């Protein structure tokens, strides 16, 4: 909580920001009287603030709403289309890029396919193509982007360096920031993909507004991410949610239960899980047993996190969350004996878009911090530039 104060212009700036925030959060046009109520300012001052913001292009006037007593009031809306951010998901099998407006609404996206073996340069190239496709679809250029955030597999430290990654052979140490900086002048953030998925679920998804949650990435490479006190939790070096590395949790071997199930016999390892979940859905006893054994192991590591953090909600995400209908009940039952209070378990709903949307949320958060800080001027809406290193 930074108390700043300042001069009269700073006060006006704060009041302008207050108005913008009110308009943005209301998600509908507001009248001057409503704005005055929201901000606590007098009517006259709100008029000043609003005409100023309108001249600068932050807000726009809309038709007065018909049918009401008294003289119809002017109404204003936040111009969410004044700027855009870019979210990127660099996955193992695909790269997604999505452009959203300042409200976080997706306006365009691009996609390219890669494989686990794709070498670094080609993966970066795939990222470039996905970005370009999204930009073209949105009809925007790269210097119109206000911010970018990219999600990647692996451990991402505070400087955005990927320090550890198992799934991709030559991906660790990739200078993602540098690579993006060459093509985009705006601020850049890199984060772990599960953390972004968790953020998306907490902002837009099944855990909207939840203060404390554990996001479980259930899939071929299990993982977890945390939202604590309402904010994404990064830890000291970014290596959070790695409880599955402990032998006693069984996370390293739990997919064996699925892959060695008769229902998956002969199929390639990456299809095994889906086949077993499908068989379990139709009642196959061996498949059900395999799912239960998997859930038992998953519950061990989950219980360790739940007992440590006492979250309100556990979000079940990752590829296996598509099979939440057969996985949820066994997981809940396996969790119960370990926990003091069993948190609500909700299957993820955002699906494949989860990480890109989370990335866009993070980029929006970043520019929010910039604009709402004392230094971040409330200039006419233009794409912020990265501060040039001194």
Partner DNA sequence: TCCTTTTTGATGGAAACCTCATTATGTACG
Partner DNA sequence: CGTACATAATGAGGTTTCCATCAAAAAGGA
Is residue 370 within 8 Å of residue 187, measured between CB atoms? yes
Is residue 246 within 8 Å of residue 254, measured between CB atoms? no
> Coil, helix or strand for 235?
coil
Q: Which does 292 bind (CB under 5 to 8 A by kind): its own copies, DNA, none?
A: none
For its own copies, give the closer residue by CB, 225 or 273.
225
What is the DSSP annotation of 125-178?
Answer: HHHHHHHHHHHHHHT--GGGEEEEEEEESSEE-TTS-EEE-SSSTT-TT--HHH
* Other residues' Cβ atoms within 10 Å of the Cβ of residue 92: 20
Please report which helix (H) or strand (E) contains residue 368, including its range.
helix 354-372
Q: Which does 303 bind (CB under 5 to 8 A by kind): DNA, its own copies, none?
A: its own copies
Q: Which does 122 bind (CB under 5 to 8 A by kind): its own copies, DNA, none?
A: none
Report DSSP state, residue 49.
H
Task: Compute the half-sphere exposure of residue 48: CA atoms within 13 Å on the CB side of its CA.
Answer: 11
Q: Helices marked H in 27-76 — which ranges?
A: 32-39, 43-56
316 vs 353: CA distance, rounded Å:
15
Residues near DNA (CB under 7 A), total? 29
Residue numbers 41-100 binding DNA by CB under 7 A: 41-45, 47-49, 66-74
**The binder of DNA chosen from 2, 3, 4, 5 (CB under 7 A):** 5
Q: Which does 164 bind (CB under 5 to 8 A by kind): DNA, its own copies, none?
A: its own copies
Is residue 321 within 8 Å of residue 277, measured between CB atoms? no
**The binder of DNA chosen from 31, 142, 163, 296 (CB under 7 A):** 31
- Is 208 a binding residue for DNA by CB under 7 A? The answer is no
Instruction: Give me the count of residues in the chain.
Output: 390
**The binder of its own copies chosen from 289, 309, 329, 370 (CB under 8 A):** 309
Q: Which residues are within 8 A (CB) of 87 and not within 5 positions of it... i.e. 6 or more apart?
A: 97, 98, 99, 100, 148, 149, 150, 151, 355, 356, 357, 358, 359, 360, 361, 362, 363
The least CB distance from residue 325 to its own copies, in Å, is 26
**The binder of its own copies chosen from 140, 228, 329, 370 (CB under 8 A):** 228
Site string for its own copies, 137-176 (x = CB under 8 A): ------------------x--------x------------
Q: Which does 69 bind (CB under 5 to 8 A by kind): DNA, its own copies, none?
A: DNA
- Is 54 a binding residue for its own copies by CB under 8 A? The answer is no
**The binder of its own copies chosen from 80, 107, 267, 304 (CB under 8 A):** 304
Is residue 337 within 8 Å of residue 275, measured between CB atoms? no
**Contact positions toward DNA, by CB under 7 A?**
5-9, 11-12, 15, 31-33, 40-45, 47-49, 66-74
- What is the contact surface with its own copies in residues (CB under 8 A)? 1-8, 10-11, 14-15, 17-18, 21, 39-42, 155, 164, 211-212, 224, 226, 228-229, 231, 233, 235-246, 248, 300, 303-305, 307-312, 338, 340-341, 343, 369, 372
């Amino acid at each position: 909580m930074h108390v700043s104060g300042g001069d009269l212009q700073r006060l006006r700036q704060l009041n302008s920001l207050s108005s913008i925030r009110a308009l943005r959060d209301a998600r509908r046009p507001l009248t001057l009287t409503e704005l005055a109520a929201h901000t606590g300012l007098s009517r006259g001052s709100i008029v000043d603030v609003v005409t100023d913001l309108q001249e600068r292009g932050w807000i726009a006037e809309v038709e007065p709403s018909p049918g009401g007593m008294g003289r119809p009031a002017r109404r204003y809306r936040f111009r969410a289309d004044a700027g855009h951010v870019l979210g990127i998901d660099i996955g193992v099998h695909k790269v997604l890029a999505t452009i959203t407006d300042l409200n976080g609404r997706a306006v365009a996206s691009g996609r390219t396919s890669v494989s686990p073996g794709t070498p670094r340069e080609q993966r970066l190239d795939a990222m470039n193509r996905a970005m370009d496709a999204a930009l073209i679809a949105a009809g925007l250029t790269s210097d119109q982007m206000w911010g970018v955030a990219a999600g990647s597999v692996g451990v991402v430290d505070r400087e955005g360096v990927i320090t550890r990654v198992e799934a991709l052979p030559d991906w660790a140490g990739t200078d993602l920031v540098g690579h993006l900086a060459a093509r985009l002048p705006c601020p850049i953030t890199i984060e772990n993909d599960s953390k972004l998925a968790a953020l998306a679920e907490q902002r837009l998804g099944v855990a909207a507004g939840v203060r404390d949650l554990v996001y479980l990435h259930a899939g071929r490479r299990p993982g977890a991410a945390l939202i604590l006190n309402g904010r994404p939790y990064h830890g000291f070096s970014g290596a959070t949610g790695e409880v599955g590395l402990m032998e006693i949790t069984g996370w390293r071997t739990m997919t064996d239960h699925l892959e060695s199930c008769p229902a998956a016999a002969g199929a390639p390892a990456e299809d095994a899980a889906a086949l077993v979940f499908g068989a379990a859905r139709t009642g196959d006893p061996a498949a059900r047993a395999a799912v239960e054994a998997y859930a038992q192991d998953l519950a061990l590591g989950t219980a360790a996190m739940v007992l440590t953090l006492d979250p309100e909600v556990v979000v079940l995400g990752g590829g296996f969350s598509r099979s939440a209908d057969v996985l949820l009940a066994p997981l809940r039952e396996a969790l119960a004996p370990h926990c003091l209070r069993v948190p609500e378990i909700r299957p993820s709903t955002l699906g494949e878009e989860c990480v890109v949307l989370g990335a866009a949320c993070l980029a929006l958060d970043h520019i929010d911090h910039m604009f709402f800080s004392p230094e971040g001027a409330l200039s006419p809406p233009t794409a912020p530039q990265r501060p040039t290193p001194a």
